[in-house]
Amino acid sequence: MGKKVTTEEVKYLANLARIALTEEEAIRLEKDLEQILEYVSQLEAIDTTAVEPTYHVLPPTNVWREDKVVASLSPEETLANAPEKSDNFFKVPRVI
């Protein structure tokens, strides 16, 4: 079995995370953390010395695209459907 988690450790972690826990929640999380640590200890028991580290599930392809200069919209075309405009700008409500 994995390491025994205490209620005090759960409360300490909750304090670090700025989470308020009731006593019942701390007890439930204690059990949950014990199950997680038990699962991790099972994973640690597996021999992975011959396994290459995996950074991507699939090999990365098409990561970069070539930069191409293309024509952009004119200010008139850009603002054609704007509900309100002022000069060459969208007019929006003030947000403070």
pTM: 0.49
User: In terms of C-beta density within 10 A (0-12 exposed, 13-18 middle, 19 or more buried), how is residue 56 classed?
Assistant: exposed
Assigned CATH topology for domain 7-44: Histone, subunit A (1.10.20)
Q: Supply φ then ψ for residue 54, to 5 degrees.
A: -110, 120
Beta-bridge partners for 86? 89
CA distance 39 to 2: 8
Residue pLDDT tens, the chain, 96 long: 556 889 999 999 999 999 999 999 999 999 999 999 999 999 889 998 998 888 888 877 777 878 899 999 999 999 999 999 998 899 999 898
pLDDT score, position 1:
52
